[in-house]
Amino acid sequence: DSGVTQTPKHLITATGQRVTLRCSPRSGDLSVYWYQQSLDQGLQFLIQYYNGEERAKGNILERFSAQQFPDLHSELNLSSLELGDSALYFCASSVAEALSGYTFGSGTRLTVV
Amino acid sequence: AQKVTQAQTEISVVEKEDVTLDCVYETRDTTYYLFWYKQPPSGELVFLIRRNSFDEQNEISGRYSWNFQKSTSSFNFTITASQVVDSAVYFCALSDLLDSNYQLIWGAGTKLIIKP
């Protein structure tokens, strides 16, 4: 157990729907990062939050949004889902900035049908 | 801009052979970290090693060893006496401050298949 908790582990939904992925960071970590891994591909950075504030944005679609709450857990909202959004979504956390690396959750596998 | 290249898309070896996974990186920063992660078929990302740019010592951990060479911007990973359980996708990643703002820049991964 890495200490980073992601729920749900698996999610199957239909095109056009909206889903919310949840991440609880490791205790004491202030930064949360979201990554997307499509089938047989590397990880793409989506967005980073630090202590409740958005810190950096990567290749995140406008249909996607995220937030970090006062208790530091984060949610990634995916709307108007398309087949191509099917992927593994990873959350990672770190104490502050992640220059020295961070801890990943086990991921949420999203399947859009 | 930063970049991590893992030129080997897939490697297949027979159990007990040694295998080296290559990683070449690009960065303008002088302070950076390099990582290797393992992703077994179950999907989770398993942290293997972190190396900062000021430490060029090679590292050995059991059957795993890493060769960091700043002169060639490479951070290669060798598995000695490979085992079937080593079958996974291995990712090399880079983290620096310039441009990337501490995000991890990932290579495309190398799929390692160890045949019994």
Q: State how beta strands B74-79 and B46-52 pair.
A: unpaired
Mean per-residue pLDDT, A90-111: 84
Q: For B12-71, what is each residue's pLDDT tens digit? A: 999 999 999 999 999 988 888 899 999 999 888 988 999 989 988 888 889 999 999 999
How many CB atoms sit inside 10 A of residue B3's CB? 12
Bigger pLDDT: A95 vs B76: B76
Q: Is B91 on the interface with A (CB under 8 A)?
A: yes
Contact list, A106 vs chain B (CB under 8 Å): 43-44
Q: What is the reported pLDDT for B20?
A: 98
Distance from CA of A71 to the nearest CA of B (A): 23
Chain-centre distance for alpha carbon B93: 7
Interface contact flag, A43 B104, Cβ < 8 Å: yes
Question: What Cα–Cα distance (Å) separates residue B111 from each residue in A79, B23, B82?
Answer: 32, 13, 14
Q: For A44-80, what is each residue's pLDDT tens digit? A: 989 999 999 998 888 899 999 999 999 999 999 999 9
What region does B102 belong to: left with phi over 0, alpha with psi -120 to 50, or beta? left
Contact list, B109 vs chain A (CB under 8 Å): 42
Contact between A33 and A92 (Cβ < 8 Å): yes
How many CB atoms sit inside 10 A of residue A12's CB? 12
Structural tokens at position A12: 């199957």
Model confidence band, residue A98 (pLDDT cutoffs 50, 70, 90)? low
Which residue in chain A is spatially nearest to B49 when comparing CA positions? A101
Q: What is the reported pLDDT for B39?
A: 93
Q: Is the pLDDT of residue B100 over 60?
A: no
